[in-house]
Structure 1
Amino acid sequence: MRLLFIHAHPDDESIATGVAIGAYAAAGHEVHVLTCTLGEQGEVIPPDLQHLDADHEDALGEFRLGEWQAALAALGATGHLLGFDESGAAAYRDSGMAGSPSAARPDAFVNADAGAAIALARKVIERIRPDIVITYENQGGYAHPDHIQAHRIACAAVATLADPPRMYAVLTPRSWVAQDRAWLAAEVSAPGVTIPAADDPVIPSVVDDALVPYAVSDAEGARRQAAAMRAHATQITVHGAWFTLSNDIAARLSGREGYAPLDPITGLLRSGEPVAEAGARGWPV
């Protein structure tokens, strides 16, 4: 099969969908990743690289491009950048969080002309001709404006095709969150690291188990995911079986991901699918 994952920033492919990308690539499928910005607004973890961020040299995007390329090599996927011309100039910039000054910039991805961005995405989709396209659900995982925009652009581009590929959204069953938080509480104790409490709020992509019919759980995919996340050293610190972002909140590397069919016309989940293991044997189509 040929699969295309559409993401907003470098590292999203590894954190959100790295197990599936690694598993399917390892099984011999052709896996592509389309990334919409270079993540210029990201917070930088290593002190010796913090001069690259948007508040200083504003050179983080180019550095994260190298991280992204290394991560894709670890996963075994082919990368594409939305709207990059032959000189390497980006069409869109990381918007940052909603309400931030960076989100008001005219070149921010969230402010992209919809028709132009959809045409750029469709051009990539038509060139790759994927059997399956995977992106976020309609709230962008955790409501980041660029994730929501990537979802909109991906759905609209697929919806315009005469013979559209199947679409899936990455989701997390609510029971997995409970299991992962219990594991973190039992296994992780590190100075300065916050362990999520069992009753802490969850992000929008955490949904009832019944809404997540497909699970990808694969040891080689998990190994490749961890290696790819290590490549994103400005954004992620991997501590064995768990990791932290710049917020120092612990998250488990559980080696599993959930997916649900997505309707590209409405942008909403399609219901009625039976629960099944996707695995590396072939995604349901």
Structure 2
Amino acid sequence: MTRAEPVLVRGRPARLLFVHAHPDDESLATGVAIAHHVAAGDEVHVLTCTLGEQGEVIPPELAHLDADHEDTLGEFRRDELRGAMTAIGARSQVLGEDPAVGRLSRWRDSGMAGTPAADDPRCWVRSDDGEAVAAVRAVVEEVAPDLVVTYDADGGYAHPDHIRTHEVTRAAVAAMDEGGRPALFGVFTPRSWAEADREVLAALHAPAQAGWTQPSGEFPPSVVDDAVVTHAVVDESAIAHQEAALRHHRTQVTLGPSHTYALSNDVAALLPGREGFARLDLATGLPLPGEPAGERPPLVARR
């Protein structure tokens, strides 16, 4: 099998596991792939490593939930995650959640590097390697997926929790026996797609009318040369399901017209109905090379 070929599944629905750092990451970064595979009849699981307790709250009436006030945002975002995953049709769990003892998660959102939250011994970036890897590995073995999808080595946009999630997930998969080890993919965006999305946003008047600014400057690290992205899920029909999930993440996301959205920074972004991926080297975390030319295959091939 060439490295750019999809994971082959014979005679049954595929089983996929998406591993993310916070509630809403799953719908923003991989909502198209999740919705697409649910619609195809596949079994889709989402593992969320923290409850996003350090997130900024968009609705003013919910500002009291944040970490600087009541510090109850994590519980609220757990409910948002449940609603989003019900809307999109995926199975969901939080890492270390234990309803029997009233524990919603084992680890806490670390916030951005250099903030006080990153020094909290409970936070995800300070998790013990052995405990964290064992916890994620246990979920992978329980789900027994054909493939696992998580962030690239730079965590999409260098968020410390995203980077930690990549590191722990990669180590968990690498620790499994080779015969039962799922394929591991990272999320990447071809530069041509990112440039095209900015052109679409620039042509829309709706984001400006909502008070949002246009994106500018350097792209995040997950935007890479087109040749790096070896697989893709392209499905415009999935956008409606992605938006249905994102409506539940109202503390973090505001949806606009024409498949646009913004986070708390009020920078317009687009839901284009396509997501790119590359298989990751388990030793280095870097994307494995694909074929020099040709269309990008899907994540899964069926026989």
Q: Which residue in the other structure is 1:194 paired with?
A: 213
TM-score, with length taken from structure 1: 0.95
Out of 233, 248, 253, the position equivalent to 1:236 is 253
The 8 Å contact of residues 230 and 289 in structure 2, kept in 1 or not, is answered as no
SS class of match (1:171) = strand
The 8 Å contact of residues 212 and 275 in structure 1, kept in 2 or not, is answered as no
Q: Distance in 2 between matches of 1:205 and 1:272?
A: 17
Q: In the superposition, relative to structure 1, how do residues 184 and 109 fare at CA in structure 2: closer, same or farther (>3 Å)?
A: same
Q: Tell me which amino acid in the other structure corresponds to 2:59.
A: P
Q: In the superposition, relative to structure 1, how do residues 278 and 272 fare at CA in structure 2: closer, same or farther (>3 Å)?
A: closer
Q: Distance in 2 between matches of 1:239 and 1:88?
A: 36
Q: Tell me which amino acid in the other structure corresponds to 1:173.
A: P
Q: Which moved more, 1:115-124 or 1:257-266?
A: 257-266
Q: Which residue in the other structure is 1:156 paired with?
A: 171
Following TM superposition, the consecutive aligned residue runs of length 4 or more in structure 1 with deviations greater than 4 angstroms are 277-280
Q: Tell me which amino acid in the other structure corresponds to 2:200.
A: W
Q: Tell me which amino acid in the other structure corresponds to 1:144.
A: H
Question: Identical aligned pairs, as a percentage?
Answer: 54
Q: Tell me which amino acid in the other structure corresponds to 1:78.
A: R
2:140 matched to 1:125?
A: yes
Q: Which runs of 5+ in 2 are unaligned?
A: 1-13
State the superposition RMSD in angstroms. Answer: 1.6
Q: Distance in 2 between matches of 1:5 and 1:276?
A: 24
Q: Distance in 2 between matches of 1:275 and 1:60?
A: 45
Q: Which residue in the other structure is 1:55 paired with?
A: 68
Task: Deviation per CA, 1:182-228: give whole Å up to 9, x if none.
Answer: 1111113225311123xx11100000001001121113322111111
Q: Distance in 2 between matches of 1:95 and 1:21?
A: 26
Q: Tell me which amino acid in the other structure corresponds to 1:8.
A: A
Q: Tell me which amino acid in the other structure corresponds to 1:168.
A: F
Out of 127, 134, 143, the position equivalent to 1:112 is 127
**Offset, 1:74:** 1.4
Out of 87, 101, 105, the position equivalent to 2:116 is 101
**Offset, 1:88:** 3.6
Q: Which residue in the other structure is 1:144 paired with?
A: 159
TM-score, with length taken from structure 2: 0.90
Q: Which residue in the other structure is 1:167 paired with?
A: 184
Q: Distance in 2 between matches of 1:284 and 1:265?
A: 28
**Offset, 1:272:** 2.7
Q: In the superposition, relative to structure 1, how do residues 161 and 187 fare at CA in structure 2: closer, same or farther (>3 Å)?
A: same
The 8 Å contact of residues 132 and 168 in structure 1, kept in 2 or not, is answered as yes
